[in-house]
Structure 1
């Protein structure tokens, strides 16, 4: 995934008119017990012309916590969150950028959400087990009822934020598990941040750490928790938390 990213961005920089397509890569290691940090360090050593930073978290915080910490360290005009498994074709960032630029408001807020909704077919549904289909439909119903409307795929790990949007959203995040995408988009919609959903190329990667039953139950609990806390006013979006521009 790192090689695909660097190859694409370096080619893009070399072929751009002004050769000023600067970028950085932030690798967040969420307290893993494998060799991630060493592999990332070796890759950075081999690509010293690329701005690569490694953010090792001492303890596992969950996907949401890891993404949030990475976004809080980001220095770019645009901030992309992307899963490290390479399930999404990285070059689709061009699609997200084009769509994002078309919706950004005058205050510099906007989000482009990668979507796999176009890949859902009758054949794909038939191949899934009854319990998987049941849980999937139940989750989407809960998301629609308690959380997000107008976005078909809230969970795709390929989302592009303007810097202003990232600065407003991520300092106000609370949930650190799988459901963090919902809170992220819920905050965005509550602040009237423009959001566009963009179809991306995606393929299934083996080795998912999601437990179908236990994680589905936990996600449902977290979804109720998010909605309840915002409705009761325990959680509020505080614009004074916005990070200062670097």
Structure 2
């Protein structure tokens, strides 16, 4: 619907009037875009369906998810958004659980939880994830199944708001980033020395791999990539070379501060999160991580980049016009 309205305004702006002049229309185009961004702005919605308030234990009993507003009771929470990931997810989960279990054996005081958020999948993503919950127990592994598809950002937010960790890692279900690289993003958090408010974010980054990826991409995809980077820099986030890597570590306090204000639920949500963080002056580290492209990406190169480009413009304009505002915290229903 947003695109229909936007296209109509754009068409009218570019269409010559009865005198054959379209310059006058172009003058008003920025104002039209500004109005569209403001009028179509949706407010942050943290309301849960009744079924999304509970997780299943190994015995099939329902227990209430905790809240990010509560004090932490685990050292680490790992939030994994998953949409139709029954085939790719097991490889990632096997690697993650092996790392976490070994770390706990070496350091018995280390506690963790993994939360897989099934984002309204049409396949057996929940069933696959529940096998791990039964194997490791619901204290270590929980599954949050969303009633409807919210988008990756919405799924990460719902999982984060249900977590118990002192620090919270966002990790993709495809396993493109080696899970052991959590050591690197943890070092990034520690280097920031997030005292006294304990606010810090450490972002995994693929920027060091960019030249290699350019050599393997078509000229068109390279153009889209650099165009997206420019829009991110121009409208939203500066100083971060790779905003889109799905491997980010938050202190609990930083997660609450940023996710409480998050509005974008699709691909550009990472950019809004970092934009919010920079508005709150939360320290951000960018750390190089190992990354391998995994087949089966849900990202459709042209249309997804176009949608993200639109979202970047609208993020800036909606905060600028006051349609969206930064909030200290929001409690889930």
Pick the TM interval, shorter chain. over 0.9
Does 2:126 match 1:13?
Answer: no
Partner of 1:154: 243
Does 2:275 match 1:186?
Answer: yes
* Residue from 182, 204, 219 that aligns with 1:114: 204
CA RMSD of aligned residues (A): 1.3
Q: TM-score, normalised by structure 1?
A: 0.94
Does 2:275 match 1:196?
Answer: no
**Deviation string, structure 1 residues 152-198 (Cα, Å, up to 9, x no partner):** 00000000000000011111110000000000000000000000000
Partner of 1:32: 121
Separation (CA, whole Å) in 2 of partners of 1:49 and 1:239: 31
- Where 1:239 maps in the other structure, the secondary structure is coil
> Does structure 1 conserve the Cα–Cα contact (< 8 Å) formed by 2:261 and 2:329?
no
Separation (CA, whole Å) in 2 of partners of 1:86 and 1:71: 19
Superposition deviation, residue 241 in structure 1: 2.8
Separation (CA, whole Å) in 2 of partners of 1:53 and 1:185: 27
Higher relative contact order (CA 8 A, sep 6+): 1
Q: Structure 1: where are the runs of 5+ without partners?
A: none
Superposition deviation, residue 41 in structure 1: 0.8
Comparing 4-13 with 190-199, which one deviates more in the overlay? 4-13
Partner of 2:51: none
Comparing 87-96 with 40-49, which one deviates more in the overlay? 40-49
Does 2:99 match 1:2?
Answer: no
> Does structure 1 conserve the Cα–Cα contact (< 8 Å) formed by 2:103 and 2:110?
yes
Partner of 1:137: 226
